[in-house]
Chains A and B, each alone.
Chain A
C-alpha cells in the first residue's frame, strides 16, 4: 500500500509536467487545428533557459533564496519561450494558415528539428547537470515526499487555476473560444484573430517553460534532445484526453504519468513508454476522440 501511494505521488508529479506541456498542444490544436510539433522543443528551450538563468544567478549572487531563484528562472524562461513560440508562429505557421493541411505540420516538424539542433550547436551536445536546488524530503507514514514534488504539484495547481480563469472568465479567453468555434465569424465580429492566435501560442509556450523549469529542478539535468520524448508523451496525453479539450489535456497528462510510474514500479521500467503508447492505442480504439474529446460528427 505504501509502495502504491508512493508510486501514485511519483505519477502525479510526472503527470503534472506532462499536463502543463499537453495544454500547449491542445490549445494550439483547438484554435488552428494543427499539431505544433515544435512544442516539445519549446519545452526544452524553456528548461535550457532556466538552466542558463540558474547559472547566471549562481555567478552573480553568492546565495539566493531558492524560491526567488526558481521564480526568476521561471519568469525568464516564460518570457523567452513566449518569444520563441511567437516568432515561430509568425514565421512558419501564419503564412500557411488556410493552405494545405499538411504544410504547417511539415514546417512544425522542420522547426522542431531546427530548434533542437540550434541548441545542440550553440550549447553543445552533452548532458547539462545542475547541482540539486531543492533536496528536502519529508517522510509521512513511511511515504517519502520530496519538496520538489510538492513544489511541482503546487505550481501546477496554481497555474491551472490561473489558466482556467483566463480562458473561462476573461474577454481574452472568450475571444479564444470564439476563434476556436469559427474563426471567420469571430473575425467578422471584430476579434483580432491573428492577435488571439499569437496569444494562444504565447500562453502555451509559457506553460511549457514552467514545465521545463520544473523538469530541470526535478531531474537536475537537461540535454538538447530532451524536447522529443516529453513532447511526444505530452502530445499523447493531449490526444488521450481528447485533443482540443483543456481538462482533457490535464487528465491525459496525469494518466500518462500514472501509467508510467505504475508500470515501472510493478512491471518493467524498460517498457514503460511502450505501455503508455499501447494504452493510448487501446483507448482510441474504443473512444476515437479521446476521453473528453468531442466526438466528431460525421455529417452525411
Chain B
C-alpha cells in the first residue's frame, strides 16, 4: 500500500486533447494535462471554468466529445477511461471520487456507507450472494475484514464515535470527511475530490489538509482535487493546473502558477494587455497575497455562502439546465468581495460571470462591472 517513492514521477492520469461539448457549448476545449503518481494535483480556475466537467469525464459520468483519458495502474495495466462504463471506473481502474454537493447514503449509518463502498470485494467474497446466503465462512471473514477497514478509515476521518449514526445526521464538515473515507474504502489509486474544503471552517479545513496529506503519504493514493480555497491548494498540492473557460492557461508548481500573470488575469478578470496596469495599480505583492492565502477571518462567510449555494443550484438545476451556475457565481462574487475588501475588488466581475458561456463572449463578459470599479472598468471600454 505504501511504497510511494519508487514511482513518484510517472503519470497516473494522462488527459490528452479532452473536449466536451454540450450542444453548441464548449465546456472543455482541447485540454491536456497529467497527474503524477503519489502527488496531489490541484485543478483550479474561476467558476464555470469546467473543472467539474473534467471530473465527470474522468469518472465516467460524461462521455467526452473528443480526447483520451489514460489511467495507468500501479500493476502496469492501463485503462482508457472514456471507454469504460461508469461503474467500472472505480471498480477496475480504481478511480474514486467525491461530489461537490455531497452525496452520502443519508439514511444509512456511517459504517454502512463505508461497507457499501466495499461492494465489489464483498460481492466476490460472498460468491455473488449465493454462498453468503448459506452462511459460507469465507464471506464471514471477508465481512469482518471489511468492517475493520471501515473502522480504520472512520478513525482516520475522526468519525469512529459516530459510526452507528445515520450519515444524514452529521454536520457538514464531517459529511465531507465521511465522503472521502467512503471513497478511500474502494481502495483507489487515484482519488478525485471535488471541492473538499467548500463549506468547512478553518479548523475543519486544517483537519482536511492533514487527512489528505496522510492519504498521500501512507497509502500511495494519488489525489486530484478541485478547490477554491487557495490556502488548501497552495499548502498541500504538488502540482497545479489552472483552467479558464475550459482551456488550460497554466500548469506547474504552486509557486510557478501563482506568479503566472495569465492566472492572475483570469482570477481578476481583465484582458491580457491590462494585466500590468492592474498589477501596478493594486500592487503586485498585494494581489498575489490575496490569491495565495486570503485572510482566515473571511472563511466563515465564505463557506456559508457556498453552502447555501449548493441546494439552490440543485433545485434550479433540475428545471433550467444552465441557469444553475448563475446563482452560484453570484454568491462567489459575494465571497470574493467579502474576502478582499478594497484590494482585490476587480476580481468579482470575473467570478460573477455565468459559467459555460461560449468563449466568444469572454472578452466582453470579462470586463469589470461592479460600481466600485467604475474608474478602472471605464478605462477598458
Contacts and interface: CB of A to CB of B under 8 A. Distances in A.
**Direct A–B touching, Cβ under 8 Å:** yes
Interface of A: 181-182, 296-300
Question: Which residue among B99, B318, B321, B324 has the maximum number of chain A CB atoms within 10 Å of its CB?
Answer: B318
A296 B319 CA distance: 8
Interface in B6-56: 52, 56
A297 B317 contact: yes
Contacts of B99: 300
A233 to B, nearest CB: 28
Question: Which residue among A181, A182, A299 has the maximum number of chain B CB atoms within 10 Å of its CB?
Answer: A299
B314 interface: yes
A25 B321 CA distance: 25
Contacts of B61: 298, 300
19 contacts: A181-B319, A181-B320, A182-B315, A182-B316, A182-B319, A296-B318, A297-B317, A297-B318, A297-B321, A298-B61, A299-B314, A299-B317, A299-B318, A299-B324, A300-B52, A300-B56, A300-B61, A300-B62, A300-B99
Given A182-B316, A297-B317, A299-B318, 4 more contacts: A181-B319, A297-B321, A298-B61, A299-B314
Majority secondary structure, A binding face: loop
Contacts of A297: 317-318, 321
Contacts of B316: 182
Contacts of A300: 52, 56, 61-62, 99
Contacts of A296: 318
A30 to B, nearest CB: 11
B62 to A, nearest CB: 8
Contacts of A299: 314, 317-318, 324
Contacts of A298: 61
Interface in B79-100: 99
A130 B319 CA distance: 47
Contacts of B317: 297, 299
Interface range for B? 10 to 19
A177 to B, nearest CB: 11
Nearest to B55: A300
Contacts of B320: 181
A300 B61 CA distance: 8
Contacts of B314: 299
Contacts of A181: 319-320
Nearest to B99: A300
Question: 4 closest A-B pairs (Cβ-Cβ)?
Answer: A299-B317, A300-B61, A300-B56, A181-B319
Interface string B309-350: 000001111111100100000000000000000000000000
B194 to A, nearest CB: 9
Nearest to A300: B61
A182 B317 CA distance: 11
A73 to B, nearest CB: 40
Question: Which residue among A296, A298, A300 has the maximum number of chain B CB atoms within 10 Å of its CB?
Answer: A300
A262 to B, nearest CB: 36
Nearest to A294: B319
A60 to B, nearest CB: 51
A208 B316 CA distance: 32
A299 B315 CA distance: 10
Nearest to A185: B315
A299 to B, nearest CB: 5
B201 to A, nearest CB: 26
Contacts of B318: 296-297, 299
A296 B317 CA distance: 10
Interface string B292-324: 000000000000000000000011111111001
B20 to A, nearest CB: 13
A298 B324 CA distance: 13
Nearest to B319: A181
A298 B318 CA distance: 8
Contacts of A182: 315-316, 319
A299 B61 CA distance: 10
B53 to A, nearest CB: 9
Contacts of B319: 181-182
Interface string B203-233: 0000000000000000000000000000000
Nearest to A295: B321
A300 B226 CA distance: 15
A297 B56 CA distance: 14
A296 B318 CA distance: 7
Contacts of B52: 300
A101 B324 CA distance: 25
Contacts of B315: 182
A115 B158 CA distance: 56
Nearest to A181: B319
Nearest to A296: B318
Interface in B57-82: 61-62
A91 B318 CA distance: 29
A299 B314 CA distance: 8
A300 B315 CA distance: 13
A298 B61 CA distance: 9
A244 to B, nearest CB: 10
Nearest to B322: A297
Nearest to A180: B319
Contacts of B324: 299
A182 B318 CA distance: 10
Nearest to B313: A299
A297 B315 CA distance: 11
